[in-house]
Amino acid sequence: MKKIYPAGSLDNIGFVSIYAKHKGKWIFCFHKRRKTWECPGGHVEPGEDPLGAAKRELFEETGALNYKIIPLRDYHFPEGNHNGRVYFADVVSFGELPQSEMERIGLFDQLPENVTYDRISMQTNLDLVDKKIREYESSSEH
């Protein structure tokens, strides 16, 4: 069972996931081979830090050029003994989608029906992002 920690709590981050929005809509990538939607993400390459990996994956899988990105939380999978970090990105602009395993991106009001990974975990992350955005907006109004 996955264990959740505050962002920055874990070392040896091996995987990053980026939940992203553009003009208030969720950005998902359509995987060419799997024929399903997923959030941008991937492995942290040797010599790369998690934030660098998140920025690289966001560009490679969506073409995002201008954005703000923040870490949301860390997680640990005891079964595979690996650590990951979840990010949120607010994307302002895109360039052309680079050649990758992604066929296209889509903008959605909610989680699409045909997703690659565990739907409950993905929805939990969307809800977390929305909560963090609301908290940030209410704190910046004061």
* List of domains in the chain: 3-140 (3.90.79.10)
DSSP 79: T
What's residue 141's pLDDT?
64
Mean of the per-residue pLDDT values of the chain: 92
pLDDT digits (tens, 9 = 90+) for 100-126: 999 999 999 999 999 998 899 889 889
* 142: pLDDT strictly greater than 60: no
* 29: pLDDT strictly greater than 80: yes
pLDDT digits (tens, 9 = 90+) for 73-107: 999 988 877 999 999 999 999 999 999 999 999 99
CA-closest candidate to residue 49, choices 21, 4, 85, 22: 85
SS3 percent helix, strand, coil of the chain, rounded to 5, is 25, 45, 30
Tokens 């660098």 found at? 52
Nearest-angstrom CA–CA distance, 78 and 75: 10
CA-closest candidate to residue 36, choices 136, 99, 95, 122: 122
Structure tokens at 100: 């990758």
DSSP 122: H
Count H helices and E strands in the chain, helices first.
2, 8
What is the reported pTM? 0.91
Nearest-angstrom CA–CA distance, 110 and 107: 9
What's residue 57's pLDDT?
97
